[in-house]
Chains A and B, each alone.
Chain A
Amino acid sequence: MSFLSKSLAVARKETIAELRTREMVFAVLVFTILVIVIFNFTAGVDQEVIRAAAPGLLWATFSFSGTLSLNRTFVREKENGCLEGLMSCPASREVIYVGKVLSNLLFMLVIEIIALLVFTLLFNIYVLSPPLLVITVLATFGFATVGTLFSGLSANTKAREMVLPILFLPIVLPVIIAAVRGSEQVLAGKSWAGLSPWFQLILAFDAVLSVVSFLVFPYVIEE
């Protein structure tokens, strides 16, 4: 119980700080919408072309915006030596990990859902359907578990922002593949049953990678 409540305390603290400054969500959201607007110039106005390219575009955008926001995860902990303060608390290192996964998941989902709304508005393709939202939540959970681990790692390297995408993107590729294909099926009007292989794939990734990331996280922040 204490584990969960302390993880929530970490997530809560992150959320308060983000709500106050809005530095990360705001910037990433603008970036995301800009990418969608640029897409307009590459895909043109042909509805069929847009429909065919939309899933790929959405997930390419979410991968990059995810990387951008994940980069910020440990920035706040670096000021005033906060990470050390956090490590001197009577809580295991995993508590820090779970708290950060939760806050990252929240931030990324907020950005993605607004982006989906904007996409629907601008291109007149309804991408806010329930199956697509489920795919988004599951895939973003995968992003958050691996991304939090790697952002803790890259924050301690010499080239921070450069290192994260090199680590993060190859590992989450299965999720991207599954999310793109799943979204295609949704836009093509396929039923839930047709989506099941892609759901299974994302779930398998989420299950395996979240456990492994949880287990190795303490090694990332120890000294």
Chain B
Amino acid sequence: MSEQIDDLIKSHYAAGFVTDIESDTLPPGLNADVIRFISAKKNEPEWMLEWRLKAYRAWLEMVEPHWAHVSYPDIDFNAMSYFSAPKRDEDRPQSLDEVDPKLRETYDKLGIPLHEQEMLAGVAVDAVFDSVSVGTTFRKKLYEAGVIFCSISEALQDHPELVRQHLGTVVPQKDNYYAALNSAVFSDGSFVYIPKGVKCPMELSTYFRINEAKTGQFERTLIVADEGSEVSYLEGCTAPMRDENQLHAAVVELVALDNAKIKYSTVQNWYPGDEEGKGGIYNFVTKRGVAHTNAHISWTQVETGSAITMKYPSCVLKGDNSIGEFYSVALSSNFQQADTGTKMIHLGKNTRSTIISKGIAAGHGSNTYRGLVRMNPGATGARNYTRCDSLLIGDQCGAHTFPYIESKNPTAIIEHEASTSKVSDEQLFLCRQRGIGEEKAVSMIVNGFCKEVFRELPMEFAVEAGKLLEVSLEGAVG
């Protein structure tokens, strides 16, 4: 495959394509040629290139959204580079042992060294560095079960028909500004296909990180659970310290066909910026799933990173009796801003959705829950339950709640509960009087607050999530 790429690049070069192909990073800027370069570099089928270009043309007509409760300087999309491969093929790590020690150090801090990941029976790791997938494990075992778990670039080579059938069916190219951008320039991401009636034999896990300066990351993930199948997918992110803002605009699409079940868990820990709010990552992500008849989609997210987050993992409950769930912990510390929540779109009869959102604001953080529950005319007997709790630490932070409820069916039942509380001096003093230090006490109280969400996470993720909160809250007290 690398030969093919080299050939292609050479041929482009011969054709007068001006990009410096010796560098694996494109110079900053976005135009149709950049998209052709990406597509060519990935040896994509012609329809894929057309699909990307269509998205690009749509994006040019769109305007950047500014309705979220966040503020940040304007993004110069021409100052970003849209492709970055970590190294030439032969220089890439051939196994997890060759993984960048810095990355492994970060994992070690979080108590999840990669070499243990491999041993953790049941977890397959598809590590994504920057824009190109490297280490993939357990794929063979999955293959025997008929499960396809690979990078989306590989899927485009090996299973183009599956990708073509589903890509953009949940999040169309024109869905929103960032989804359109992603559709045009997505670099890589994961592809999962679970065949009919198959329960995926292990939890699937991908670790992302952002590696190269000034490189926007545009992952594209597509998970298709065929009829009666089941899969649990874990997404975890870490990033090394850096001082430049970076845009991350991923798209995740979930397709749960009849009677299928998809559980998607995220523990997100991108660089949030320093104590003064400088640097840090912009995380503007579109995540959505479509649940067909009797299907079940469950989103669980723990958001502790990013300078700015706009993210609304959503469920379109299309089929009758389908179920959507959203469990979220979002922490904003220092100068972090998070505007996150979900959308539950009830189309089918007797569809059910549950939203449990726990927002934590500390330091100068701003935490916003924004959620939409819509009962369409066909959603007879549909139900939603929403609970939205906010916890404030200190007196410089803010929590906001924007629930949107639209019901066009009189038989639908919607419940909404909300609360705001504060970590009180009395609580902290009780802990300290029992010999528990202030930071430990805060993390214990915060963990208690998040318990309902953490128990939705797979075990090892729940532990990691707890640690992340602890690390993220360091210095937030006092």
Co-assembled chains A and B: no
Q: Spell out B's residues near A (CB within 8 Å).
A: none
Q: Spell out A's residues near B (CB within 8 Å).
A: none
